[in-house]
Structure 1
Amino acid sequence: MKAIVRPTAALQGEINALSSKNYTTRYMLVGALADGTSTIRFPAHSEDSDAMRRCIRDLGADLIEEGDTMTIRGFGRHPKPVRELNVGNAGAVLRFLMSVAAFCPEVTFVNAYPDSLGKRPHDDLIAALGQMNVSIDHNNGKLPITIRGGHPKGGRIQVSGNVSSQFLSSLLFMTPLLDEDSEIEVLHDLKSKVVVGQTLEVIRQAGIRLESSDDLMHYRIPGRQRYEAKEYVVQGDYPGSAAILAAAAVTRSDVRVLRLEEASKQGERAVIDVLRAMNVPLTHENGIVHVRGDGKLKAVEFDGDHFTDAVLAMVAAAVFAEGTSRFYNVENLRYKECDRITDYLNELRKAGADVEERQSEIIVHGKPEGVEGGVEIDAHFDHRVIMALTVVGLRSKRGLTIRDAHHVAKSYPQYFDHLRSIGAQVELADQ
């Protein structure tokens, strides 16, 4: 599917933020790992959360949805033996379930997206599981991956945090269920510490006891624990809303986005600070972000590691800011559905943006007058790239056509509907 994005001068209206993908997948996982029936209110519906739904069912969870409520009867530490699991293009789901699969005799994670998830490395988690009496066959650290477990053991575990925090989160979910106590040491750096905070929040809500160091590099996890069956409420999603807010920022707008908690532990909540620093007129009260955009932005510098999944949307806004913006400490963007630095910036240049890259930085020389556009560009099968390029298209002089735009459904299936509901000129067409 192509998205034909036409220049749009003004946006106006109100949107309910979609539910958080990160919290939904985590709540579903702890529900599956619990003994008993858990309830999740307002679960997200996206390709990623659907992948978690599909896989925990395959592993033996009973899952029922009625309206905005999901109930899960979990399998605890005894998932059903299954030969294959297909996580689609959902990297976090794959990594979380690799540790859960260690409780099974043998499970193969298939390579359904060789041009996207199939290119992403998982060596660090493979190495950590290898320390736990788990045998793994893999394709140079990539899919397909076969886990031969059945009897994972705790103890002292080391895992690198250089590439992704998801490897650590995966171990944090499964180690409380082991017979032995565990101690996890994170080697090197730890990317996306804020997202680890979300994992710890959910695990503790589910009744698990553990100790973590202030820098999140060391953990002590008692074994022989059980996840409690609980009721959870999913909050609104900042990463997806970031693109809506960026679109409002670069146009004349009067846009309200609801269900965005001021005290949220989502790192992408930082987009409010980024947009304020760009001089975007906005308020954030009672869970409502209200943007009255005038399209006049100024350049900023921010550490992007704190809001990884919203960096691309903020870069899109910075394309139209006065001055040079810099988003640094973002190397982990290279290891997502695509290389979100090189691939994304190549498409921005086609649209007329003036951008540079370093290994761990994105530099944007803003063009307040706008960019030319008028070209067809590649989404690289990446939902975050699609959303961010749409923002640029709205402020371009001749619009943009984005190929493979249907991949936005990975996290935000309603994205184009929501944009059009506030006046964005976007047409969807077959490729």
Structure 2
Amino acid sequence: MKAIVKPTASLSGSIQALSSKNYTTRYMLIAALAEGTSTIHYPAHSEDSDAMRRCIKDLGAIVEEDDVKMTITGFGRNPKPISELNVGNAGAVLRFLMSTAAFCPELTFVNAYPQSLGKRPHDDLISSLEQMGVQVEHNGGKLPITIRGGNPRGGKITVSGNVSSQFLSSLLFMTPLLDEDSEIEVLHDLKSKVIVGQTLEVLEMAGIRIEASEDLMFYRIPGKQRYQAKEYVVQGDYPGSAAILAAAAVTDSDVKVLRLAENSRQGERAVVDVLRAMGVPLTHDNDIVHVKGNSRLIGGEFDGDHFTDAVLAMVAAAVFAEGTTRFYNVENLRYKECDRITDFVTELRKAGADVEERQSEIIVHGRPQGVEGGVEIDAHIDHRVIMALTVVGLRSKQGLTIRDAHHVAKSYPHYFEHLKALGAHVELIAD
């Protein structure tokens, strides 16, 4: 599918934020690892969360749902001994379930997206699992990956955190179920510490005890724990909403996004502060972010590691800011569905933006007058790239055509529907 994004002067209206993908997938996993039945209210519906649904069912969880909730009867530390699992293009789901798969005799994760997830490295988690007595057969750290487990051992474990925090989260979900106590030491650096905080939050909600150092680089995990079956309520999603807020910021707008908790632990909540720092008129009260955009923004400097999944949307807004905007500490963007630095910068330049890249930075020289557009650009099979390029298209002089726009469904299936409801001129056509 192609999205033809046409210049749009103004947006107005209110939308409900979609439910958080990150919390939904975590709640589904801890419900599957519990013995008993858990209830999740307002679960997200996206390709990623659907991948977790499908995979935990394949592993033996009983999943039932209606329009507003799902119930999951878990399998504890005894998943069904299946031979194959397909996570689609969901990297977090793959990494979380690689540790869970260590309880299976032999399980192969297939390579369904060789041009996207199939290119992403998982060596750091593979190394940690091997320290626990799990045999892993892999393709240079990439899919397909076969886990030969059955009896993983606790003890002292190291994991590198300088590519992704998902490797650490995966181990934190699994190690409480081991017979032995475990100690996890994070080597090098730890990216996206805020997201690790989300993992620790949901583990505590499920009755799991973990002692974490203040800098989140060391953990003590008692063994022989059991996940408790509980009720969970999924909060609104900041990463997806960031693109809606960016679109409102770069146009003349009066837009409200509802269900965005002010006290959320989602790191991407920082986009509210980023947009404020860029001079965007907005308020955040009663879980409603209200943007009264006037198309005027100013540049600044921002540590993107605090809001990883919203960096591209903020870069899109910065394309139209006065002066230069620098997003630093964002190297982990290179290891996502695509290289979200080089690939995204390439497409922005095609649209007429003045952007530079460094190994761990994106530097934007703003063009308040707008960009030319009028070209067809590549989404690189990446939902975040699609959303951010749409923001640029709205403010371009000739619009943009985005190829493979259907991949936005990975996290936000209703993205274009929501934008059009606010008045965006977007046409979707089949290839």
Query: By the TM > 0.5 criterion, same fold?
Result: yes
In the other structure, the counterpart of 1:176 is 176
Alignment deviations for residues 406-428 of structure 1 (CA, whole Å, 9 cap, x no partner): 00000000000000000000000
- Give the equivalent residue in structure 1 for 2:220: 220
Mapping for residues 291-302 of structure 1, pairs under 5 Å: 291-302=291-302
Give the drift of 1:300.
Answer: 1.2
- Aligned match of 2:138: 138
**Superposition pairs of residues 305-316 of structure 1, within 5 angstroms:** 305-316=305-316
Alpha-carbon separation, structure 2, partners of 1:83 and 1:419? 42
2:90 corresponds in structure 1 to 90
The one-letter amino acid paired with 1:335 is: Y
Q: How big is each residue's C-alpha offset from its partner over 1:48-98, in whole Å with a ceiling of 9 and x where there is no partner?
A: 000000000000000000111100000000000000000000000000000
Distance in 2, matches of 1:410 and 1:393, equals 21
Deviation at residue 430 of structure 1 after TM alignment: 1.2
AA partner of residue 238 (structure 1): Y
For the pair 1:206 / 2:238, whether they are aligned, the reply is no
Distance in 2 (CA, whole Å) between partners of 1:141 and 1:300 is 37
Aligned residue in 1 for 2:425: 425
**Amino acid across the alignment from 1:244:** I
1:152-209 Cα distance to aligned partner (Å, 9 max, x none): 0000000000100000000000000000000000000000000000000000000000
Q: What are the residue-to-residue correspondences of 1:304-343 with 2, within 5 Å? A: 304-343=304-343
- SS of the equivalent of 1:25 reads helix
One-letter identity of the residue aligned with 2:11: L
Where do 1:339-378 residues align within 5 Å?
339-378=339-378
| Residue deviations 1:257-290 (CA, integer Å, cap 9, x gap) | 0000000000000000000000000000000000
Alignment of 1:203-282 (within 5 A): 203-282=203-282
Distance 2:430 2:31 in 1: 39
The answer to whether residue 100 in structure 2 is matched with residue 73 in structure 1 is no
**Alignment partners' CA distance in 2, 1:226 and 1:295:** 52
Name the CA distance, whole Å, in 1 between partners of 2:68 and 2:203.
22
**Code of the aligned partner of 2:167:** F
Distance in 2, matches of 1:32 and 1:306, equals 29
State the SS of the aligned residue for 1:146: strand
Distance 1:66 1:13 in 2: 28
Whichever residue aligns with residue 377 of structure 1, its letter is I
Letter in 1 for 2:34: A
Q: Secondary structure at the match of 2:44?
A: coil
- Deviation sequence 1:112-141 (CA, Å, 0-9, x none): 000000000000000000000100000000
TM-score, length-normalised on structure 2? 1.00
State percent identity of aligned pairs.
81
State the partner residue of 2:165. Answer: 165
Cα distance in structure 2, aligned partners of 1:248 and 1:235: 22
1:10-68 CA-to-partner distances (Å, cap 9, x unmatched) read 00000000000000000000000000000000000000000000000000000000111
Which amino acid in the other structure matches residue 141 of structure 2? G
Listed as ranges, the matches of 1:390-405 within 5 Å are 390-405=390-405
SS at match of 1:297: coil
Q: Which amino acid aligns with 1:95?
A: R
Distance between the aligned counterparts of 1:373 and 1:289, measured in 2? Answer: 29
Q: Which runs of 4+ in 1 moved over 4 A?
A: none
Alignment-mate amino acid for residue 412 of structure 2: Y
Note the C-alpha offset of 1:305. Answer: 0.2
Structure 2 residue runs of 5 or longer lacking an equivalent are none
Query: 1:222 Cα shift?
Result: 0.1
Give the paired residue count: 431
TM (norm. structure 1) is: 1.00
The aligned residue for residue 389 of structure 1 is 389
Q: Which amino acid aligns with 1:269?
A: R
Q: Distance in 1 between matches of 2:67 and 2:332?
A: 36
Given the alignment of the two structures, is residue 287 of structure 1 paired with residue 305 of structure 2, yes or no?
no
> What are the equivalent positions in structure 2 for 1:15-30 lying under 5 Å apart?
15-30=15-30
- Partners of 1:107 and 1:211 in 2: CA distance: 31
Q: Does 1:413 align with 2:413?
A: yes
Counting only pairs closer than 5 Å after superposition, residues 36-51 of structure 1 correspond to structure 2 as 36-51=36-51
Structure 1 match to 2:154: 154
Structure 1 counterpart of 2:34: 34
